[in-house]
Amino acid sequence: MKKLKKNIASSILRAINSAFAGADTPSEAEIVSMLEYPPDETMGDLAFPCFKLSRALRKAPPVIAAEVAKAFECDGVEKCEVAGGYLNFRISNSYYAALAPRIIAEGGEYGRSHVGDGKTVVLDYSAPNICKPFHIGHLASTVIGHSLKMIHAFSGYNCVGINHLGDWGTQFGKQILAYKLWGDKETVERGGVDELVRLYVKFHAEAENDDSLNTRAREEFTKLEHGDEENTALWRWFVKISLDECNRTYDKLGITFDSYAGESFYTDKMPEQVEKLKESGLLKVDNGASIVDLSEYNMPPCLILKSDGSTLYPTRDIAAAVYRDRTYHFDKCIYVTASQQCLHFAQWFKVVELMGYDFYDKLVHVPYGMVSIDGAKLATRTGNVILIRDLIDAAVEKVAAVIDEKNPDLENREQVAQDVGVGAIVFHYLLNSRIKDTNFIMDDALSFDGSTGPYAQYTYARTCSLIEKAGDIKNANVTVTEPSEAALMKTLSRFEEVVDAALRDYEPSTITRYIIDVCVAFNRFYQDCKILGAENDDVRASRVSLVKATNTVLANALPLICMKTPKKI
């Protein structure tokens, strides 16, 4: 459709020039961006509003439309109608018919763009805190980040996924002390993160009445900072336990990272940046703390060092950005975090710019809205959390029950239940604009009807099943006659521009919404037209081609939103 739009735009331009010689005309690219999809299918497949041209051409829009229509001619467009100030184009069925074999031939390449060829993008996402439960609040960054990685890779970028672990800080002094006081090896090995959390919670309870514990915890952390052997070993062990827990979820989601360089990794990389800030005169001491004043940019100051000289969140992010620039030479560095951190990112991005780093305009913050349960903030302490593993278990269990009811003979029952259960959750997370707050409701996340993951996977499985039953069909001569066939092909033709939009806006839901459109169009076609039982072999072969084209698009699109593609469900 991108190509067809370009052709139509160029034809429109030609028609304008021949009808209004010598007039001031828009560029082809401008016309492409003016083309739109009419609100109603009956009007046409594409529309060109002529209103904006009326000033330059000094004619009323309907007159322009009529004149352009007279001279308009373009391959793939069978009709060009005037409707008020609009020009409505009807795309020929032969264009759609020709598209199906092209999609099938391109296979995994269909919809792929090359805007990122030769470029590198670093994506920082998920970033769980070590020794903390992995709950539904972390799932947003995880799936949005990974989806953006997939979308970028599909657009040609070389992608580096970084899991910036929260693996450093005074809380590890508390964790170590709690373990030394009340923990034991065996229990932690058996209980994993749950046991670590129990110890941590116990520490806070005990410290309420005994402040000396806080002092001792600080000492433990200081020992860790200075490389104390025992504490380092404990810390490494805690990190491993936490990561093992997260990896179980990442495995189910099909997520891998290229780097796990977390906060601890940058401890020795901050002094250089602090030094640079001092030298450049950007750093000012205020109330004992070292800050960069940003009042000129209408922002509160960015804190670089506490009054005791220790570093802060922005310090680490600056050091990490510099390290990543030197290591990966990125063309973009994307941070997927909750929107609460918007100011923080705006601040340190500005500081990086003031420091003179030329990569400052390659830093991108991609925020998402708050996740709550029953309108209440997620909080480990009050117990208002849902663990990701519990959520996944519930989803998988529910899917398994549906399978037992609808498809008891299914092979790979376990694996399919897993893929569909996880898919339901991921789809639910990536359905809406990322910036919106979400009130997490279990029943909605585990719904299988309507615009849901299972619906998408069900539709995909339908295409697989049809293709399998159709057997080998060679040299199908594709014809598009039924409205539902044309509508399906029109939807499939939009894939490229949907990927572009998702990339431009850092918005995975654009893909999710599109997948629904494809499924709706396909299921309508499926309902309207007999495929395997078509009236003759030609029609049958043609329709199977449409099924194959749909199958290709779904196979390419579903992984972009972290969805698996089981062939049978």
Q: What is the identity of the amino acid at 262? A: G
Q: By CB under 7 A, what part of segment 212-241 binds RNA?
A: none
Phi, psi angle pair for 303, to nearest 5°: -85, 125
* 365 makes contact with RNA (CB under 7 A): no
Interface stretch with RNA, choices 328-336, 348-356, 402-410, 475-483 (CB under 7 A): 402-410
Q: Quick one: 330 or 455, whose CB is closer to RNA?
A: 455
Q: Quick one: 102 or 469, whose CB is closer to RNA?
A: 469
Interface stretch with RNA, choices 20-28, 152-160, 472-480, 502-510 (CB under 7 A): 502-510
Q: What spatial distance separates the first Cα and last Cα of the chain, rounded to whole Å?
A: 32
Q: Strand order in 158-162's β-sheet? A: 158-162, 120-124, 332-338, 363-368
* 360 makes contact with RNA (CB under 7 A): no
Strands (E), 466-527: none
Q: By CB under 7 A, what part of segment 142-181 binds RNA?
A: 166, 169
Measured distance CA(25)–CA(7) in Å, rounded: 17
Q: By CB under 7 A, what part of segment 293-312 binds RNA?
A: 298, 300-301, 303, 306-308, 312
Q: How far is the CB of 205 from RNA (least distance, A)?
A: 19
* 138 makes contact with RNA (CB under 7 A): no
Q: Quick one: 52 or 276, whose CB is closer to RNA?
A: 52
Q: By CB under 7 A, what part of segment 271-290 binds RNA?
A: 286-289
Question: Using alpha carbons only, how large is the chain's radius of gyration in Å?
Answer: 28
- Copy the structure tokens of residue 475: 């040299």
State the helix-helix crossing angle for 413-429 and 136-154, rounded to 10 degrees.
90
Measured distance CA(557)–CA(455) in Å, rounded: 14
Measured distance CA(95)–CA(51) in Å, rounded: 28
Q: By CB under 7 A, what part of segment 518-537 binds RNA?
A: 519-520, 523-524, 526-527, 529-533
Q: Quick one: 202 or 567, whose CB is closer to RNA?
A: 567
Number of residues that bind RNA (CB under 7 A): 96
Phi, psi angle pair for 335, to nearest 5°: -115, 120
The residue from 7, 25, 38, 254 that contacts RNA (CB under 7 A) is: 38
Q: What is the identity of the amino acid at 426? A: V
* 510 makes contact with RNA (CB under 7 A): yes
Binding mask 322-341 for RNA (x = CB under 7 A): -----------------xxx
Q: How far is the CB of 162 from RNA (least distance, A)?
A: 14
Interface stretch with RNA, choices 137-145, 154-162, 234-242, 503-511 (CB under 7 A): 503-511
Q: Quick one: 80 or 188, whose CB is closer to RNA?
A: 80
The residue from 158, 369, 380, 384 that contacts RNA (CB under 7 A) is: 369
- Copy the structure tokens of residue 483: 């409205």
* 508 makes contact with RNA (CB under 7 A): no
Measured distance CA(259)–CA(535) in Å, rounded: 56
**Residue 303 forms beta bridges with which residues?**
291
Q: How far is the CB of 140 from RNA (least distance, A)?
A: 12
563, 421 Cβ separation under 8 angstroms:
no
Phi, psi angle pair for 159, to nearest 5°: -110, 140
Interface stretch with RNA, choices 15-23, 321-329, 395-403, 473-481 (CB under 7 A): 395-403
Task: Reduce the secondary structure of 53-103 to three states and give it as a string.
Answer: HHHHHCCCHHHHHHHHHHHCCCCCEEEEEEECCEEEEEECHHHHHHHHHHH
Strands (E), 277-329: 283-286, 289-292, 302-305
* 79 makes contact with RNA (CB under 7 A): no
Greatest alpha-carbon pair distance for the chain in Å reads 88
Q: How far is the CB of 108 from RNA (least distance, A)?
A: 21
Binding mask 3-32 for RNA (x = CB under 7 A): ------------------------------
DSSP per-residue string spanning 409-438? T-TTHHHHHHHHHHHHHHHHHTSS-TTS-E
Q: What is the identity of the amino acid at 358? A: D
Q: By CB under 7 A, what part of segment 427-466 binds RNA?
A: 431-433, 435-439, 444, 447-452, 454-455, 458, 461-462, 464-466
The residue from 1, 8, 67, 85 that contacts RNA (CB under 7 A) is: 85
* 134 makes contact with RNA (CB under 7 A): no
* 88 makes contact with RNA (CB under 7 A): yes
Interface stretch with RNA, choices 43-51, 354-362, 389-397, 556-564 (CB under 7 A): 43-51
Q: How far is the CB of 342 from RNA (least distance, A)?
A: 6
* 132 makes contact with RNA (CB under 7 A): no
* 483 makes contact with RNA (CB under 7 A): no
Q: Strand order in 86-91's β-sheet? A: 46-49, 86-91, 77-83
183, 195 Cβ separation under 8 angstroms:
yes
- How much of the chain is in helix, strand and coil states, percent to nearest 5? 60, 10, 30
Q: How far is the CB of 133 from RNA (least distance, A)?
A: 15
